[in-house]
């Protein structure tokens, strides 16, 4: 998993509330267990018509937002089913952070396990960043995880809270496997001791 330290990127405004995981990645794309390749299906039913053609007025289809790395979203982002494919699709598209007033709990935790930083801010701050994102590709929002600060393109700053352990994992690029591998020497020592004590196993 890639480390998340600082990010300066284009932010796409998505003011809809209750964007659920089926909107993020529809159920017909859940057959794979591969984390890559899902970006093309992100928000599929919102991005494409029935013939598979892009819907021009959807935000991520607009030229100024095709390289967006940040979403500024409405309340209760990621609600619905618990599919981990949702953060996989966001990350594969290039989204590294989502800013909202609130997130569904399972989606929120899945983000951290996949290298995405979900940031919870008061509605007043989200409103400011939403307007900032509406400026297009010339407005870049900066995120500093170490100092827990979001900075708008106009230099306005907003502090955010984050669990210390989740912060540690993102800063060091540690998913569940990475956390286990940190204990590699202790695991090896335990297995050697167990093998010596029970050579018949």
pLDDT tens figures, 109-144: 999 999 999 999 999 999 999 999 999 988 899 999
Taken in order 106, 112, 118, 119, is the CA torsion positive or negative?
A: positive
* Helix-, strand-, coil-residue percentages of the chain, each rounded to 5: 40, 20, 40
| 60 occurs within a structural domain | yes
Instruction: Judge contact between 126 and 99, C-beta under 8 A.
Output: yes
Residue 13, C-beta contacts closer than 8 angstroms, at least 6 positions apart: 59, 72, 130, 133, 134
pTM across the whole model:
0.88
CATH code, domain with 161 = 3.20.19.10
Confidence of residue 185 (pLDDT cuts 50, 70, 90): confident
Domain total in the chain: 1
Confidence of residue 183 (pLDDT cuts 50, 70, 90): low
| 149 occurs within a structural domain | yes
Instruction: Judge contact between 12 and 72, C-beta under 8 A.
Output: yes
* Neighbouring-strand partners of residue 12: 71
Pure H helices in the chain: 21-24, 44-47, 85-93, 105-113, 123-133, 164-172, 176-181, 184-197
| 170 occurs within a structural domain | yes
- 5-31: average pLDDT: 95
| 89 occurs within a structural domain | yes
- 51-66: average pLDDT: 96
| 1 occurs within a structural domain | no
Instruction: Judge contact between 117 and 69, C-beta under 8 A.
Output: no
- 24-35: average pLDDT: 85
SS3 of 6, please? strand
Residue 35: give the domain boundaries.
Answer: 6-197
**Does the structure show a pLDDT above 90 at 55?**
yes
């Amino acid at each position: 998993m890639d480390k998340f330290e600082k990010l300066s990127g284009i932010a796409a405004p998505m003011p809809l509330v209750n964007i659920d995981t089926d909107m993020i990645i529809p159920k017909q794309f859940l057959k794979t267990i591969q984390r890559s390749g899902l970006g093309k299906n992100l928000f599929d039913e919102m991005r494409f018509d029935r013939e598979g053609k892009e819907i021009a007025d959807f935000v991520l289809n607009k030229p100024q937002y095709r390289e967006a790395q940040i979403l500024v979203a409405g309340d209760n982002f990621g609600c619905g089913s618990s599919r981990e494919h949702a953060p996989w699709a966001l990350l594969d598209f290039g989204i590294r952070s989502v800013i909202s007033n609130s997130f569904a709990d399972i989606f929120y935790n899945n983000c951290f396990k996949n290298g995405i930083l979900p940031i919870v801010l008061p509605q007043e701050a989200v409103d400011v960043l939403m307007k900032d994102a509406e400026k297009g590709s010339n407005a870049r929002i900066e995120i500093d995880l170490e100092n827990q600060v979001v900075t708008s393109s106009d230099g306005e700053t907003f502090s955010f809270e984050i669990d210390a352990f989740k912060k540690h994992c993102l800063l060091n690029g540690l998913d569940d496997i990475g956390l286990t591998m940190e204990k590699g020497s202790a695991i090896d020592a335990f297995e050697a001791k167990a093998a010596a004590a029970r050579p018949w196993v």
